[in-house]
Amino acid sequence: MQLDEWQMQQDSVQYKYLERGTGSEAVDLNDREKFLETRESFLQMGFDELEISVILKIVCAVLLIGNIEFTARQDIDGSAVLNLPVLQQVRMLRR
């Protein structure tokens, strides 16, 4: 599956943008089934596999960007990324 190839976590609580809700989990939601339905919908609308892959990469990158942590730099007026591996993962998705 592409999520494995892109080193994405399957557990949605790993992404800060997805944990901002009320704290309640969706009941009876089958992520795999919904993913396949969404993919099939893209195909029915005329998207090809490459276009679907690009859209999914963008969504993954947005989820990862929400996990990037910053800290203030003392030596200059600016900030630094605390978790560089997450930033590198976003960069990897650009390919």
Q: How many domains does the chain have?
A: 1
Strand, helix or coil at 49?
helix
Segment 2-48, tens digit of pLDDT: 777 888 888 888 899 887 666 566 566 788 898 899 999 999 999 99
Segment 47-88, tens digit of pLDDT: 999 999 999 999 999 999 999 999 998 888 889 999 999 999
Sequence-distant (≥ 6) Cβ neighbours of residue 69 within 8 angstroms: 81, 82, 83, 86
User: What's the rounded Cα separation, in Å, for the pair 30 and 64?
Assistant: 22
User: What's the rounded Cα separation, in Å, for the pair 95 and 7?
Assistant: 14
Owning domain of residue 69: 2-93
